[in-house]
Structure 1
Amino acid sequence: MRIQPRQQILDIWRAMMATCWDGRQWSWDGIVDRNSISDTEQLLCLLYPATEIDNFALDNPGRIEGDVRVALEPLGYDEPIPSAIVSLLENYLRNNTRDDGQPDFSAGSYLESADPEREPTKVQRTIEVVDAYSMSLTLCSAGLRFLRAYDAAAKSTSTKRRIETLAAGLSARLTAAMAGLIRSFTVTAVAPKSPEGQAMIGMLNQTGRPERMVVADFTRTMDRVRARLRSGVDIGLDDATRDALDDEHMLFECGWSWGIIRGAAPVAFIEDAIAQEPGIANPRPSLYFTMTALDGINDLLSPRAGELALLDEKQHLLAQALRTRWELAQRYWSTIARFGSGSWPLEDIPWRTADGEQSDYFSLLVSAVLVQDLVARTASDDDLTRAVTIFDELAARGRIIRRPLRGDPAVALHTPGVRLPLKGSEAIDHGPELEWVASDFSAVLLKRVLQVAGLSNNVATRDKLMELAKFTMDHVVARSICSGAAKGLWDDLAGVFGPAEAERETRPSWYMTARIVECLVAAERTYRSSLPNWPELQSLALTLLNTAEHRYNQEMLNESADTMAYPLEHVEERIDQARKQIRDDAAATVVHALEALRELEKFATARRDAARSV
């Protein structure tokens, strides 16, 4: 189906009003008990489009567009819509602040036990994960931008006081989330002969070269990343890791673990508990949490956020530290994905991690990081062409564009999802090792396909990507809830895989719904961006322009040119306009040239008719 961001976001907002708002109280529940992450995801379904898409802005009561106002009308019965959003943000902060006044990032009901015989303990439910920090970066920066704009439009002194208090609370949460992300970044040195090193070399070595040559190429390729890790990252690296990075015979990985790592150094200039308390996560990068962290940091560092100067002095220091890690992690995984001179390791699906795990989902995660890096840099046609093949293969293997078989193991990518162990969590309260379940394969694929489509300067490549995006959207829409109050939200997997694989669901998953909203915002950006001036279109435009100009010159040579000079002035204007636009807008040139040719054909036909009547 065609992706229609405006209509589909409004449909989600209407569904949220029916599900969450009873006219007096907002409901935070969903398919699982509410927790800090699901609360954040739920609010992002409203605030992310409202702060990323100008036509969805909610910060000025007098300028909210008609269809937007209608969609959120239930929220604005008793007070203006912006004031209602302020109330939701105040409620959010109350729900997610601990008794000691510190921000609460606990993952709660999103945490599952790796041992089917044991449940996570109550203390383990308070464990914080990178998802909570990353999503809070996006929400707090969006909330602060909304409040900045609403403050300029607000007239009431009491409203301005509410905004000031709320902004301070969001800013404090933002600071804590930034500190948590900094302390969750890690670098792991790997000996080539170790099992982890052999797994890495196995992925990197796509041409069967001797191991020593692969290690030498890794050392040379990663020289700048290694140097910046040693000099530019002063938190999260212990002395042993620094020494290992000095050894050019060692491999390494960098990225984000699932939470604050064991042995992470404190952030000395931040007083919040999160900047000082000991970490528990195993200091090894996770592909999933690395991608999640990169997305949140990207939202924080976006031009829209930077325009309003939302950060204070300490936050600027934290943001710079996150930017360094963001750049290094993107460069590292983008380089690993395309390592060597032959086939890319990323093309060798499924991706195999250093700890021996393999999954199509890991290939998709590496692809997602690669796309993020291509967005930040100039992508070559070869990069994009090969990315199309990878995404197409992943869509087929993930049963997005192929019908699943009975008992198909690929269905597990979506339900129950890929289980990611949280190593180190078992040390808390003598509980079981915990797991994070990632079931967003289709949403990650859709978002990255749309982002790559926005980069492509090749008409055939872009067409393939947009077709793949439409097929993926078909899959996603089929998973929307089809009955009950939550109709139009996600995630009803039985809609795609049938009741044999998943039970019908009528309760919303804010985890999945928020990710679909991200996809729709990505689609809006792709649609709103200027199309490349396709070489094929330029060639056609130039051909039509020259044809029109030649026929115009022929008409001006005609013996009756004096009598036709005035009407032909309009044709000349069309041709001049077409020539002015050929470099910047070949499509407009085609339109003007065709109009000129149409007028010239009218003159030619009139002249032939006149000749026959003589």
Structure 2
Amino acid sequence: MRIQPRTEIIQVWQALARHTYANGVWEWGGAEGQDSLSDAEQLLCLMYPAQQLDGLRITRPDRTAPDVGKALDVFGDRATIPTKLISVLLEYLRTYRAADGSPTFSAPEHLDAPEHLDAPEHLDAPEHLDAALPVTDAQRTLDVSPSYSVSLSLALSALSFVRVFRRESKEVGEIAEELEILAQARLTAAMVGLLRSFVIEVFDVDSPEAQKLCAMVNQAQLPYGAVAAGLQNALSEVRAGLRDLTIGSGRGIHLANPKVLFSCGWTWGVTADAPEVDVAPPWDRQEQPAGIAAGSPHPYFTRLACAGIADLTSEQTRVSGLLEDEQQRIAAALQLRLELARSYWGTLAMYDRGRWPVEDQPWRLPTGESGDHVTLWVIRLAGSALEAQPHPLKTERRFTALLRDFASRTRVPDRLDDPDAPPPVYRQHHLDLPGSDTAGPALRWPIELGPSLMKAALTSAATTSSGDDRESLLALAETIWDRLAAKRRFSNGLWRSLSAAGSDQPSWSTTEQIVECLVVMAEVAATRPPVSELLTSLARDLLHEATHTLDRVLLDPRSGGTGAPTDTAALGLLLARARDALEDEPGLTLTLAQDVLRDLHRLRPPPDR
């Protein structure tokens, strides 16, 4: 790869440390302001790579790499760095709590009230017709599901970090203990919040919503009744799984009726009718605030929730023993919802054996919302569904083509020179937050596509079994990187906000997304590329020839077989090594076989004349 992920991450770390710790104290906030989501993203720029990549770990001072220590030297020496970060993590966990100590997950700096065509009731002058209403105090305190999801990743990173470091240093006993208690509390509250943000939307088979859903998946132009029946059958396992939900929202939904269709996933916050979740001590006293979100799932919020839950239920979390018994119970409930939502959206996206519905872009939701910003998140959910189950190579190649087609549609290769008409993939989009208008003006949530498409390409590159597709996907990711970096990257390695391009403050949201991409790049670089069948065939043929040639040399009394036993023995060992490498490293086998043939040519006697 042209981009060196480890070098880039260390550059981000150095810039972040110097920006946030210039005055000897951690300074919060960036281009998006300061709230529970932005501050968590600021911390994850450091914590996430440090927990995911062995070469960047900082919990064991004697093993901290020199370049890592140098990048973070504003915090002190290698022994001091973890202690300072524990203090910063503790400050975050103390800050985002209610008066009763319950964790809070609001993100008011991310909420946007668009311009309204109708004047507010208290303003009837014509000049106020297009005025945007301010976000109300009630809306500013609303918990949002993106903060739940990010908090899962941050709390898990904090717990893993502090537990490892406590074994190395006895000097952080009290603050480390408080950090563990608060991180466990925030982790539990975030898990409960995601349980209460999961929704199942049911609509009659003859409703406008069902008709839009069937129209989206009906690529073969079949009669409506046949499409509805086929979709009900394809979703039968998901339907059965949803009926088994026992805690959180989504329980008691009547899906057995064959005359209904449904949608499931996560919405932007706790729903208006979400029941409270029974939680065992010591977390039973945490407040579970009422919600106002409408019960309609969205692929964007579903994908974000799935990412956090994937960290929660990962092998690394399990092996590290980070979850208590009660948390494991809640995590199992979230894991079930993840699997069902992933299967649901994957089934819709790749329905039937002909043209995939997700290839018919843009994707259209039952609510009527459509666009590239919807399509990308459906593509990412479809990719998650593919990763979760075995599938043939032709399906992988088709999904790679889908990503390339979407990149072409959204003009990934285009330059960003025209600020008034940027390519769709580099433009800011907004999602309406249905139900938010019950506490003030209707709100929107800002999103962008570029970093997410780059991560989708990298994730697919890491899992594909086609070498050609791997190179194609990496090239797509590098193109997006180049276009974003040209306009959005500070010289020190941090990244600008799309909505505040003129600001001199870094965007922690953008920087954290870029860091996630760099982590995936590092994982791709550490993974052996797919083995080429052609290269394996060539290596096998050359190995056979080298083996046969060595046997002939050893049989010929005129050769070096009698005069140079050491040489021929060494060549035999090289061939054995080449034979062992054939399946995983055919290029090495080919090179070693060539070396053996070259040396055998020197040992063989000249031909008779």
Question: Which has the larger displacement, 254-263 or 401-410?
Answer: 401-410
2:446 maps to which of 420, 434, 437: 437
2:495 maps to which of 486, 490, 497: 490
Same amino acid, percent of matched pairs: 34
Distance 2:185 2:228 in 1: 44
1:533 aligned onto 2:531: yes
Contact 2:32 2:497 survives alignment (8 Å): no
Amino acid at match of 2:276: P
The residue aligned with 1:550 is: 548
2:133 maps to which of 118, 122, 129: 118
Distance 2:438 2:586 in 1: 63
Distance 2:594 2:173 in 1: 56
Q: Which runs of 5+ in 1 are unaligned?
A: 495-501
Structure 1's 410 and 351: CA in aligned 2 closer, same or farther, altered over 3 A?
Answer: farther
1:189 maps to which of 182, 192, 202: 202
Deviation, structure 1 residue 503: 4.5
Report 1:143-154 matches (<5 A). 143-154=158-169
Contact 2:467 2:531 survives alignment (8 Å): no
Contact 2:490 2:496 survives alignment (8 Å): no
Distance 2:417 2:168 in 1: 56
The residue aligned with 1:73 is: 73
Distance 1:565 1:33 in 2: 74
Contact 2:462 2:524 survives alignment (8 Å): yes
Deviation, structure 1 residue 412: 5.1
1:306 maps to which of 311, 314, 318: 318
Deviation, structure 1 residue 32: 2.4
2:223 maps to which of 204, 207, 210: 210
Deviation, structure 1 residue 462: 1.6
The residue aligned with 1:45 is: 45
Distance 1:407 1:77 in 2: 44
Deviation, structure 1 residue 528: 1.5
Amino acid at match of 1:150: F
Distance 1:78 1:50 in 2: 14
1:355 maps to which of 367, 374, 381: 367
Query: SS of the counterpart of 2:264?
Result: strand
Contact 2:219 2:357 survives alignment (8 Å): yes
Residue deviations 1:520-569, cap 9 Å, x none? 11111122223333322221210110121222233234341322444222
Distance 1:275 1:101 in 2: 9
Amino acid at match of 2:434: K
The residue aligned with 1:286 is: 298
The residue aligned with 1:260 is: 270
Residue deviations 1:201-243, cap 9 Å, x none? 111001101111111111111111100101135432364xx22
Amino acid at match of 1:392: R
Residue deviations 1:482-526, cap 9 Å, x none? 35xxx32112659xxxxxxx8533211111111111111111112
Q: Work out the number of aligned pairs and report it.
A: 590
Query: SS of the counterpart of 2:444?
Result: strand
1:5 aligned onto 2:17: no
Query: SS of the counterpart of 1:491?
Result: coil
Q: Which runs of 5+ in 2 are unaligned?
A: 116-130
Structure 1's 481 and 409: CA in aligned 2 closer, same or farther, altered over 3 A?
Answer: closer
Distance 1:577 1:238 in 2: 59
Contact 1:102 1:272 survives alignment (8 Å): no
Contact 1:479 1:490 survives alignment (8 Å): no
Structure 1's 316 and 275: CA in aligned 2 closer, same or farther, altered over 3 A?
Answer: farther
Distance 2:219 2:286 in 1: 42
Contact 1:399 1:410 survives alignment (8 Å): no
1:420 aligned onto 2:437: no
Amino acid at match of 1:51: Q
Contact 1:375 1:451 survives alignment (8 Å): no
Q: Which 4+ runs in 1 deviate beyond 6 A? A: none
Amino acid at match of 1:488: G
Report 1:102-501 matches (<5 A). 102-115=102-115, 116-156=131-171, 159-237=172-250, 239=252, 242-243=253-254, 245-269=255-279, 276-403=288-415, 411=423, 413-415=425-427, 417-428=428-439, 431-439=440-448, 441-482=449-490, 487-491=492-496
Distance 1:129 1:101 in 2: 18
Distance 1:560 1:469 in 2: 58
Contact 1:59 1:146 survives alignment (8 Å): yes
The residue aligned with 1:499 is: none
Deviation, structure 1 residue 267: 0.3
Question: Which has the larger displacement, 25-34 or 42-51?
Answer: 25-34
Deviation, structure 1 residue 145: 0.3
Structure 1's 405 and 393: CA in aligned 2 closer, same or farther, altered over 3 A?
Answer: farther
Amino acid at match of 1:456: T
Q: CA RMSD in A?
A: 2.2
Distance 2:143 2:239 in 1: 29
Distance 1:404 1:213 in 2: 46
Distance 2:438 2:284 in 1: 23
Contact 1:396 1:402 survives alignment (8 Å): no
Query: SS of the counterpart of 1:508?
Result: coil
Distance 1:81 1:576 in 2: 48
Question: Which has the larger displacement, 514-523 or 463-472?
Answer: 463-472
Residue deviations 1:104-138, cap 9 Å, x none? 21111111103352110122111111000000000
1:588 aligned onto 2:588: yes
